[in-house]
Amino acid sequence: MAQEKKMENKKISEMEREKASYYLMLESEILPFVAHNRNLKSLEIANEVLQKLVRYIEKKFDAVWYIGTDVFGDEIYERFMFHHGGFMEISLVGRIRCYFPEDKIEKMKKALEYALSKTTTSGSASHLIHQIKSGQKLISVKDSILINTELNKGIKKK
């Protein structure tokens, strides 16, 4: 009976681990790639800075694969996948969101700290680093992407 209970608890914890996803978020208008104006020149500059930031993250974290650009309402999203698992979404209004199927948050935080230190002033980097939020959700990365896609479709239709 006790052995059965242990096996059942083990199965539940394995299922929870399979469903869990880890996230990291940073929202700030002082991120170095924020496009305050929507003219072509501002967007080009923002994109150049964003590319540098992503390359610095890649240097300290994992290979990055570019998925593409999406525009929903007033927001422009650049989406990326990490070679060893994970998804990153960056909005040019000042939002970085990362999702992982495994706990890679500390390594990602360090990579983001490094990237921010290379693309902003030390004062701005320090301020931004303290605004990073992270945690665990009991939802799979796949489900999270599907839900986000459905929500964005709803925004697009309005």
CATH assignment of the domain containing 86: 3.60.90
Evaluate whether residue 13 is within a structural domain.
no
| DSSP β-ladder status, 64-72 and 133-137 | unpaired
Flag whether 1 is in a domain.
no
Instruction: Give the Cα separation of 107 and 79 in Å (integer).
Output: 19
Which pLDDT does position 157 carry in this prediction? 47
Q: Is residue 8 part of a domain?
A: no
Cα-to-chain-centroid distance, residue 31: 14
pLDDT of residue 24: 96
pLDDT at position 2 is 56
Q: How many domains does the chain have?
A: 1
Residue 3 within a domain: no
**DSSP secondary-structure letter at 138?**
S
pTM for the whole thing?
Answer: 0.74
Buried b (16+ CB within 10 A) or exposed e, 141-154: beebeeeeeeeeee
> Which residue type is seen at 43?
L
Residue 95 domain boundaries: 20-157
pLDDT for 35 equals: 87
Q: Indicate whether 117 belongs to any domain.
A: yes
Report the candidate in 131, 137, 111, 116 with the shortest Cα–Cα distance to residue 23.
137
Q: Please give the average pLDDT of every successive group of 10 residues along the chain, which has 158 residues.
A: 56 54 94 89 93 98 96 90 96 95 95 97 94 82 67 56
Residue 40 lies in a domain: yes
| 82 C-beta neighbours (distance < 10 Å), count | 20
- Position 153 scores a pLDDT of 67
Q: For residue 27, give Cα distances in angstroms to 97, 126, 134.
A: 9, 14, 12
Q: Which residues pair with 87 in a beta bridge?
A: 81, 99
Does 147 fall in a domain?
yes
Is residue 100 situated within a structural domain? yes
Q: Are residues 98 and 24 in contact, defined by beta-carbon separation less than 8 angstroms?
A: yes
Give the span between the Cα atoms of 76 and 94, in whole angstroms: 10
Can you tell me the distance from the alpha carbon of 113 to that of 127, in angstroms, rounded to the nearest whole number?
11
What values do phi and psi take at 50, rounded to 5?
Answer: -60, -45
The Cα–Cα gap between 115 and 52 comes to 8
